[in-house]
Protein backbone atom coordinates (compact mmCIF):
# COMPACT_ATOMS: atom_id res chain seq x y z
CA UNK A 1 0.00 0.00 0.00
CA UNK A 2 2.84 2.36 0.83
CA UNK A 3 4.53 1.70 -2.51
CA UNK A 4 1.33 2.14 -4.54
CA UNK A 5 0.03 5.12 -2.59
CA UNK A 6 3.22 7.12 -2.20
CA UNK A 7 5.61 6.04 -4.92
CA UNK A 8 3.86 4.32 -7.84
CA UNK A 9 3.84 7.53 -9.87
CA UNK A 10 7.65 7.71 -10.04
CA UNK A 11 7.70 4.23 -11.64
CA UNK A 12 5.34 5.35 -14.39
CA UNK A 13 2.13 3.91 -12.93
CA UNK A 14 -0.86 6.05 -13.84
CA UNK A 15 -4.54 5.89 -12.96
CA UNK A 16 -3.99 5.40 -9.24
CA UNK A 17 -5.88 7.75 -6.96
CA UNK A 18 -3.97 7.70 -3.64
CA UNK A 19 -6.91 9.26 -1.81
CA UNK A 20 -9.09 6.31 -2.84
CA UNK A 21 -6.77 3.71 -1.28
CA UNK A 22 -7.63 2.30 2.12
CA UNK A 23 -6.44 -0.62 4.20
CA UNK A 24 -8.83 -3.39 5.19
CA UNK A 25 -6.87 -4.30 8.30
CA UNK A 26 -9.25 -7.15 9.18
CA UNK A 27 -8.35 -8.90 5.91
CA UNK A 28 -4.63 -8.35 6.50
CA UNK A 29 -4.90 -9.73 10.05
CA UNK A 30 -6.91 -12.74 8.85
CA UNK A 31 -4.20 -13.51 6.27
CA UNK A 32 -1.51 -13.17 8.93
CA UNK A 33 -3.43 -15.44 11.31
CA UNK A 34 -3.84 -18.07 8.60
CA UNK A 35 -0.11 -18.11 7.92
CA UNK A 36 0.76 -18.29 11.63
CA UNK A 37 -1.77 -21.05 12.26
CA UNK A 38 -0.33 -23.05 9.38
CA UNK A 39 3.12 -22.84 10.93
CA UNK A 40 1.75 -23.86 14.34
CA UNK A 41 -0.19 -26.77 12.82
CA UNK A 42 2.94 -28.01 11.07
CA UNK A 43 4.92 -27.98 14.33
CA UNK A 44 2.30 -29.45 16.63
CA UNK A 45 1.05 -31.84 13.96
CA UNK A 46 4.47 -33.48 13.96
CA UNK A 47 4.61 -33.46 17.76
CA UNK A 48 1.19 -35.09 18.08
CA UNK A 49 1.93 -37.76 15.46
CA UNK A 50 5.16 -38.93 17.08
CA UNK A 51 4.80 -42.09 19.15
CA UNK A 52 7.89 -41.04 21.14
CA UNK A 53 6.46 -37.76 22.41
CA UNK A 54 3.81 -37.25 25.07
CA UNK A 55 2.47 -33.72 24.70
CA UNK A 56 0.83 -32.17 27.75
CA UNK A 57 -0.62 -28.66 27.98
CA UNK A 58 -0.72 -26.86 31.32
CA UNK A 59 1.06 -24.73 33.90
CA UNK A 60 4.26 -26.41 35.03
CA UNK A 61 5.84 -26.14 38.48
CA UNK A 62 9.21 -27.68 39.31
CA UNK A 63 8.75 -29.29 42.71
CA UNK A 64 12.25 -30.84 42.82
CA UNK A 65 15.16 -31.34 40.42
CA UNK A 66 13.38 -34.40 39.01
CA UNK A 67 9.69 -33.73 39.69
CA UNK A 68 7.28 -31.50 37.76
CA UNK A 69 3.67 -30.82 38.61
CA UNK A 70 1.42 -29.82 35.70
CA UNK A 71 -2.01 -28.66 36.79
CA UNK A 72 -2.03 -31.13 39.67
CA UNK A 73 -0.53 -34.08 37.76
CA UNK A 74 3.01 -35.21 38.64
CA UNK A 75 5.76 -36.11 36.19
CA UNK A 76 9.19 -37.49 37.06
CA UNK A 77 12.06 -36.86 34.66
CA UNK A 78 15.77 -37.64 34.86
CA UNK A 79 16.50 -34.75 32.48
CA UNK A 80 14.55 -31.53 31.90
CA UNK A 81 14.92 -28.73 29.35
CA UNK A 82 13.28 -25.37 30.03
CA UNK A 83 12.18 -23.47 26.92
CA UNK A 84 9.41 -21.18 28.13
CA UNK A 85 10.43 -18.08 26.17
CA UNK A 86 9.73 -14.49 27.16
CA UNK A 87 6.87 -12.07 27.75
CA UNK A 88 6.37 -8.32 27.60
CA UNK A 89 8.06 -6.60 30.53
CA UNK A 90 5.79 -5.31 33.27
CA UNK A 91 4.55 -1.79 32.64
CA UNK A 92 5.78 0.19 35.65
CA UNK A 93 4.45 3.55 34.50
CA UNK A 94 2.08 4.89 37.19
CA UNK A 95 -1.50 4.94 35.95
CA UNK A 96 -0.87 2.94 32.78
CA UNK A 97 -2.67 -0.17 33.98
CA UNK A 98 -5.71 1.92 34.87
CA UNK A 99 -5.65 3.86 31.59
CA UNK A 100 -5.18 0.69 29.54
CA UNK A 101 -2.66 -0.23 26.87
CA UNK A 102 -1.84 -2.86 24.27
CA UNK A 103 1.30 -4.93 23.66
CA UNK A 104 2.73 -6.18 20.39
CA UNK A 105 0.38 -9.18 20.62
CA UNK A 106 -2.78 -7.09 20.68
CA UNK A 107 -1.31 -4.72 18.09
CA UNK A 108 -1.21 -7.64 15.66
CA UNK A 109 -4.86 -8.46 16.33
CA UNK A 110 -6.42 -5.01 15.81
CA UNK A 111 -8.91 -4.96 12.96
CA UNK A 112 -9.21 -1.19 12.75
CA UNK A 113 -6.40 1.35 12.67
CA UNK A 114 -6.40 3.76 15.65
CA UNK A 115 -6.42 7.39 14.58
CA UNK A 116 -3.42 8.03 16.82
CA UNK A 117 -0.96 5.87 18.70
CA UNK A 118 1.71 6.46 21.35
CA UNK A 119 4.44 3.83 21.43
CA UNK A 120 6.58 3.60 24.57
CA UNK A 121 9.98 2.08 23.74
CA UNK A 122 12.33 2.43 20.76
CA UNK A 123 13.72 -1.08 20.51
CA UNK A 124 12.80 -3.76 17.98
CA UNK A 125 9.07 -3.85 18.75
CA UNK A 126 8.62 -0.10 19.13
CA UNK A 127 10.42 0.88 15.95
CA UNK A 128 8.80 -1.79 13.76
CA UNK A 129 5.28 -1.04 14.94
CA UNK A 130 5.83 2.72 14.72
CA UNK A 131 6.54 2.54 11.00
CA UNK A 132 3.87 -0.10 10.36
CA UNK A 133 1.03 1.83 11.98
CA UNK A 134 2.21 5.14 10.56
CA UNK A 135 1.97 3.63 7.10
CA UNK A 136 -1.46 2.27 7.97
CA UNK A 137 -2.50 5.88 8.53
CA UNK A 138 -2.21 6.40 12.30
CA UNK A 139 -0.56 9.48 13.78
CA UNK A 140 2.31 7.86 15.68
CA UNK A 141 4.39 9.24 18.53
CA UNK A 142 7.44 7.17 19.55
CA UNK A 143 8.58 7.90 23.12
CA UNK A 144 11.82 6.51 24.54
CA UNK A 145 14.04 7.37 27.49
CA UNK A 146 17.06 6.41 25.38
CA UNK A 147 18.88 9.13 23.48
CA UNK A 148 18.59 7.15 20.24
CA UNK A 149 16.46 4.41 18.76
CA UNK A 150 17.99 0.91 18.60
CA UNK A 151 20.64 2.05 21.05
CA UNK A 152 22.66 -1.17 20.78
CA UNK A 153 23.33 -0.57 17.07
CA UNK A 154 25.93 1.53 15.28
CA UNK A 155 25.10 5.19 16.05
CA UNK A 156 25.29 6.23 12.38
CA UNK A 157 22.73 3.63 11.37
CA UNK A 158 20.32 4.19 14.25
CA UNK A 159 20.45 7.94 13.67
CA UNK A 160 19.79 7.46 9.97
CA UNK A 161 16.81 5.19 10.71
CA UNK A 162 15.39 7.74 13.17
CA UNK A 163 15.58 10.41 10.47
CA UNK A 164 13.80 8.11 8.00
CA UNK A 165 10.99 7.53 10.51
CA UNK A 166 10.69 11.25 11.14
CA UNK A 167 10.42 11.99 7.41
CA UNK A 168 7.54 9.48 7.26
CA UNK A 169 5.69 11.61 9.81
CA UNK A 170 6.47 9.75 13.03
CA UNK A 171 7.01 12.05 16.02
CA UNK A 172 10.21 10.57 17.50
CA UNK A 173 10.77 11.79 21.08
CA UNK A 174 14.07 10.58 22.54
CA UNK A 175 15.43 11.20 26.02
CA UNK A 176 11.78 11.11 27.11
CA UNK A 177 11.08 9.17 30.30
CA UNK A 178 7.42 8.26 30.77
CA UNK A 179 6.47 9.28 34.31
CA UNK A 180 2.71 8.61 34.33
CA UNK A 181 -0.35 7.88 32.23
CA UNK A 182 -3.69 9.66 32.40
CA UNK A 183 -7.08 9.80 30.70
CA UNK A 184 -8.22 12.82 28.72
CA UNK A 185 -11.81 12.26 27.67
CA UNK A 186 -11.86 9.30 25.30
CA UNK A 187 -8.13 9.47 24.74
CA UNK A 188 -5.06 8.40 26.67
CA UNK A 189 -2.09 10.50 27.75
CA UNK A 190 1.56 9.72 28.44
CA UNK A 191 3.33 12.37 30.49
CA UNK A 192 7.08 12.24 29.83
CA UNK A 193 10.03 14.14 31.29
CA UNK A 194 12.32 15.66 28.67
CA UNK A 195 15.26 17.76 29.85
CA UNK A 196 13.55 18.26 33.20
CA UNK A 197 10.27 19.45 31.68
CA UNK A 198 7.01 17.52 31.54
CA UNK A 199 5.47 16.98 28.09
CA UNK A 200 2.03 15.52 27.40
CA UNK A 201 1.40 13.16 24.51
CA UNK A 202 -2.20 12.28 23.75
CA UNK A 203 -3.58 9.53 21.52
CA UNK A 204 -6.39 7.05 21.02
CA UNK A 205 -4.20 4.10 22.04
CA UNK A 206 -0.92 3.33 23.82
CA UNK A 207 1.37 0.50 22.75
CA UNK A 208 3.78 -0.52 25.52
CA UNK A 209 6.96 -1.83 23.87
CA UNK A 210 9.62 -1.28 26.52
CA UNK A 211 11.29 -4.67 26.39
CA UNK A 212 10.74 -8.34 27.18
CA UNK A 213 11.66 -10.51 30.17
CA UNK A 214 12.09 -14.28 30.66
CA UNK A 215 8.84 -16.16 31.21
CA UNK A 216 9.48 -17.92 34.52
CA UNK A 217 6.26 -17.04 36.33
CA UNK A 218 4.95 -19.99 38.33
CA UNK A 219 7.81 -22.34 37.45
CA UNK A 220 9.15 -22.34 41.04
CA UNK A 221 12.71 -22.65 39.76
CA UNK A 222 14.14 -22.40 43.28
CA UNK A 223 12.49 -25.70 44.24
CA UNK A 224 14.60 -27.43 41.58
CA UNK A 225 17.83 -25.58 42.37
CA UNK A 226 17.69 -23.51 39.17
CA UNK A 227 19.10 -20.04 39.78
CA UNK A 228 18.36 -16.82 37.93
CA UNK A 229 21.15 -14.58 36.65
CA UNK A 230 20.97 -10.85 35.88
CA UNK A 231 19.29 -11.42 32.50
CA UNK A 232 17.50 -14.75 32.84
CA UNK A 233 18.08 -18.34 33.89
CA UNK A 234 21.74 -18.81 34.71
CA UNK A 235 23.36 -21.32 32.35
CA UNK A 236 26.83 -22.56 31.49
CA UNK A 237 28.14 -22.64 27.90
CA UNK A 238 26.58 -26.11 27.63
CA UNK A 239 23.19 -24.54 28.49
CA UNK A 240 23.06 -26.54 31.72
CA UNK A 241 21.52 -24.65 34.61
CA UNK A 242 22.72 -24.64 38.21
CA UNK A 243 20.76 -27.91 38.59
CA UNK A 244 22.90 -30.77 37.28
CA UNK A 245 20.09 -32.42 35.31
CA UNK A 246 18.26 -29.36 33.95
CA UNK A 247 19.09 -27.39 30.80
CA UNK A 248 17.58 -24.16 29.50
CA UNK A 249 17.45 -22.49 26.09
CA UNK A 250 16.24 -19.45 24.19
CA UNK A 251 14.62 -16.26 25.49
CA UNK A 252 14.19 -17.55 29.04
CA UNK A 253 17.98 -17.29 29.44
CA UNK A 254 17.91 -13.59 28.53
CA UNK A 255 20.35 -12.03 26.10
CA UNK A 256 19.50 -12.13 22.41
CA UNK A 257 15.77 -12.89 22.36
CA UNK A 258 15.37 -14.14 18.79
CA UNK A 259 13.70 -17.22 17.34
CA UNK A 260 16.89 -18.06 15.45
CA UNK A 261 18.83 -17.99 18.73
CA UNK A 262 16.38 -20.52 20.23
CA UNK A 263 16.63 -22.80 17.19
CA UNK A 264 20.42 -22.62 17.53
CA UNK A 265 20.24 -23.44 21.25
CA UNK A 266 17.77 -26.30 20.83
CA UNK A 267 19.97 -29.04 19.33
CA UNK A 268 22.83 -28.14 21.68
CA UNK A 269 20.66 -28.45 24.79
CA UNK A 270 19.07 -31.67 23.49
CA UNK A 271 22.35 -33.38 22.61
CA UNK A 272 23.92 -32.38 25.92
CA UNK A 273 20.92 -33.54 27.93
CA UNK A 274 20.33 -36.82 26.12
CA UNK A 275 23.81 -37.81 24.92
CA UNK A 276 26.07 -35.83 27.27
CA UNK A 277 27.65 -34.43 24.11
CA UNK A 278 29.45 -31.53 25.78
CA UNK A 279 28.44 -29.07 23.03
CA UNK A 280 28.87 -25.37 23.83
CA UNK A 281 27.19 -22.24 22.49
CA UNK A 282 29.03 -19.48 20.66
CA UNK A 283 27.03 -16.29 20.28
CA UNK A 284 29.89 -14.36 18.70
CA UNK A 285 28.13 -14.48 15.33
CA UNK A 286 24.51 -14.03 16.47
CA UNK A 287 22.73 -11.86 13.85
CA UNK A 288 19.85 -9.49 14.51
CA UNK A 289 17.42 -7.52 12.37
CA UNK A 290 14.83 -4.78 12.66
CA UNK A 291 12.16 -5.31 10.01
CA UNK A 292 11.57 -1.71 9.10
CA UNK A 293 11.90 -0.37 5.58
CA UNK A 294 14.78 -0.01 5.03
CA UNK A 295 15.79 -2.97 7.17
CA UNK A 296 18.48 -2.69 9.83
CA UNK A 297 20.54 -5.87 10.24
CA UNK A 298 23.74 -6.50 12.20
CA UNK A 299 26.10 -9.16 13.42
CA UNK A 300 29.00 -9.05 15.85
CA UNK A 301 30.54 -5.98 17.45
CA UNK A 302 29.95 -2.33 16.78
CA UNK A 303 33.03 -0.15 16.35
CA UNK A 304 32.71 1.12 19.95
CA UNK A 305 32.31 -2.42 21.30
CA UNK A 306 35.37 -3.60 19.37
CA UNK A 307 37.46 -0.74 20.76
CA UNK A 308 36.17 -1.49 24.28
CA UNK A 309 37.29 -5.11 23.75
CA UNK A 310 40.80 -3.72 23.14
CA UNK A 311 40.91 -4.32 19.40
CA UNK A 312 42.74 -1.91 17.15
CA UNK A 313 40.05 -1.50 14.53
CA UNK A 314 39.60 -0.46 10.94
CA UNK A 315 36.26 0.21 9.31
CA UNK A 316 34.77 0.23 5.84
CA UNK A 317 31.68 2.19 4.87
CA UNK A 318 29.54 2.31 1.72
CA UNK A 319 26.21 3.93 0.87
CA UNK A 320 23.26 2.50 -1.04
CA UNK A 321 22.88 5.74 -2.97
CA UNK A 322 25.86 4.55 -5.04
CA UNK A 323 24.24 1.20 -5.92
CA UNK A 324 22.78 0.80 -9.40
CA UNK A 325 20.31 -1.82 -8.17
CA UNK A 326 19.19 0.38 -5.27
CA UNK A 327 18.58 3.21 -7.72
CA UNK A 328 16.60 0.89 -10.00
CA UNK A 329 14.24 -0.20 -7.22
CA UNK A 330 14.06 3.31 -5.78
CA UNK A 331 15.48 2.39 -2.37
CA UNK A 332 18.72 4.32 -1.99
CA UNK A 333 18.53 5.20 1.71
CA UNK A 334 20.96 3.55 4.08
CA UNK A 335 24.56 2.48 4.49
CA UNK A 336 26.83 -0.46 5.27
CA UNK A 337 29.66 -0.64 7.78
CA UNK A 338 32.21 -3.38 8.46
CA UNK A 339 34.50 -3.52 11.50
CA UNK A 340 37.74 -5.51 11.45
CA UNK A 341 40.86 -6.02 13.54
CA UNK A 342 43.85 -4.10 12.15
CA UNK A 343 46.47 -6.72 13.05
CA UNK A 344 44.71 -9.91 11.98
CA UNK A 345 42.16 -8.59 9.51
CA UNK A 346 39.47 -10.65 11.25
CA UNK A 347 35.97 -9.36 10.70
CA UNK A 348 34.51 -8.32 14.05
CA UNK A 349 31.14 -6.95 12.99
CA UNK A 350 28.87 -6.02 10.13
CA UNK A 351 26.05 -3.46 10.12
CA UNK A 352 23.62 -2.72 7.28
CA UNK A 353 20.72 -0.31 6.98
CA UNK A 354 19.16 -0.64 3.58
CA UNK A 355 16.95 -2.64 1.23
CA UNK A 356 16.96 -6.36 2.10
CA UNK A 357 19.64 -5.87 4.75
CA UNK A 358 18.31 -8.97 6.52
CA UNK A 359 19.47 -11.04 3.53
CA UNK A 360 22.66 -9.14 2.73
CA UNK A 361 23.99 -9.58 6.28
CA UNK A 362 24.38 -13.32 5.69
CA UNK A 363 27.45 -12.70 3.55
CA UNK A 364 29.08 -11.15 6.61
CA UNK A 365 27.79 -13.89 8.94
CA UNK A 366 29.36 -16.58 6.75
CA UNK A 367 32.65 -14.70 6.53
CA UNK A 368 32.77 -14.24 10.33
CA UNK A 369 31.79 -17.79 11.29
CA UNK A 370 35.31 -19.26 11.10
CA UNK A 371 36.93 -15.96 12.11
CA UNK A 372 37.52 -15.00 8.50
CA UNK A 373 38.63 -11.70 7.01
CA UNK A 374 36.92 -9.44 4.49
CA UNK A 375 39.32 -10.53 1.74
CA UNK A 376 36.93 -13.12 0.29
CA UNK A 377 34.12 -10.57 0.23
CA UNK A 378 36.33 -7.99 -1.47
CA UNK A 379 37.81 -10.33 -4.10
CA UNK A 380 34.92 -12.63 -4.96
CA UNK A 381 32.85 -11.90 -8.05
CA UNK A 382 29.39 -10.53 -7.29
CA UNK A 383 26.59 -10.53 -9.85
CA UNK A 384 25.78 -7.14 -11.36
CA UNK A 385 23.43 -5.42 -10.84
CA UNK A 386 22.60 -6.67 -7.33
CA UNK A 387 22.47 -5.20 -3.85
CA UNK A 388 25.06 -7.79 -2.82
CA UNK A 389 27.70 -5.78 -4.66
CA UNK A 390 27.48 -3.25 -1.84
CA UNK A 391 28.83 -5.79 0.66
CA UNK A 392 31.82 -6.31 -1.63
CA UNK A 393 32.27 -2.54 -1.98
CA UNK A 394 32.21 -2.09 1.82
CA UNK A 395 34.85 -4.81 2.23
CA UNK A 396 37.05 -3.01 -0.31
CA UNK A 397 36.76 0.17 1.77
CA UNK A 398 38.17 -1.44 4.97
CA UNK A 399 41.16 0.60 5.96
Neighbours of 168 (CB within 10 A): 16
Res 240: pLDDT: 98
d(CA 367, CA 252): 29
pTM: 0.95
The pLDDT score that the predictor gives to residue 16 is 87
Phi-psi map region of 16: left, alpha, beta (phi>0 left; psi -120 to 50 alpha): beta
CATH fold for domain 96-210: FAD/NAD(P)-binding domain (3.50.50)
Beta strand pairing call for 197-203 and 187-194: antiparallel
Q: Chunk the chain into consecutive blocks of 10 residues (it has 399) and report each block's average pLDDT, rounded to whole numbers.
A: 90 90 93 96 90 93 97 94 96 96 96 97 97 96 97 96 97 97 97 97 97 95 97 98 98 96 98 97 97 98 98 98 97 98 97 98 97 96 98 96
Q: Which of 197, 208, 200, 123 is nearest to 162 (CA)?
A: 123
Residue 104 pLDDT: 95
DSSP code of 228?
Answer: B
Question: Which DSSP string corresponds to 74-114?
Answer: EEE-SSEEE---EEEPP--STTHHHH--B-HHHHTT-SS--
CATH 3.30.390.30 range(s) for the chain read 289-396
Q: Please, what's the largest Cα pairwise distance for the chain? A: 69
Each residue of 125-143: pLDDT tens digit? 999 999 999 999 999 999 9
| CA distances from residue 240 to 230, 248, 249, 266, 298 in whole angstroms, order as listed | 16, 6, 9, 12, 28
CATH superfamily label, 56-86+214-281: FAD/NAD(P)-binding domain (3.50.50.60)
Going by DSSP bridges, is the β-strand pair 212-214/73-76 parallel, antiparallel, or unpaired? unpaired
Query: Which of 286, 302, 301, 256 shows the shortest CA–CA distance to 154?
Result: 302
Whether a cis peptide bond, with omega within 30° of 0, leads into 347 is no
Nearest in space to 129 (alpha carbons), one of 104, 152, 165: 104
Backbone torsions φ then ψ of 192, nearest 5 degrees: -125, 145
Beta bridge partners of 87: 213
Fold (topology level) of 289-396: Enolase-like; domain 1 (3.30.390)
Q: What are phi and psi of 267, to 5 degrees?
A: -60, -35
Catalytic position from the list 73, 260, 362, 384: 384
Active site residue 384: yes
At 144 the pLDDT is: 97
Question: 239 near 82, Cβ under 8 Å?
Answer: no
The CATH 3.50.50.60 domain(s) of the chain lie at: 56-86+214-281, 96-210
Reading across the β-sheet that carries 139-143, which strands appear in turn? 171-173, 139-143, 116-120, 205-208
pLDDT for position 19: 85
The contacts of residue 42 (CB under 8 Å, 6+ apart) are none
Amino acid 168: pLDDT: 96
Q: What is the pLDDT of residues 23-52, one digit of tens each?
A: 999 999 999 999 999 999 998 898 888 899
Amino acid sequence: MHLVRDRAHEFGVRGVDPSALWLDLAVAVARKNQIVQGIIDDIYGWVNKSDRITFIRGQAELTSPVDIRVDGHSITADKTIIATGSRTADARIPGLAQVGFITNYEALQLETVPASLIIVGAGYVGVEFAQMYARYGAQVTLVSRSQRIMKQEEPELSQMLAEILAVEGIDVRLGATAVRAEKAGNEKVIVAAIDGQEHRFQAEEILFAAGRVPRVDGLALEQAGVEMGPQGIQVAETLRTTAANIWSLGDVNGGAMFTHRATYDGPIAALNAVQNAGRTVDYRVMPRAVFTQPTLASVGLTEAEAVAAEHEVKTGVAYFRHSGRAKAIGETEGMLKLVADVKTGELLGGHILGPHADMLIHQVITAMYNRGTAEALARSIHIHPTLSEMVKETAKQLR
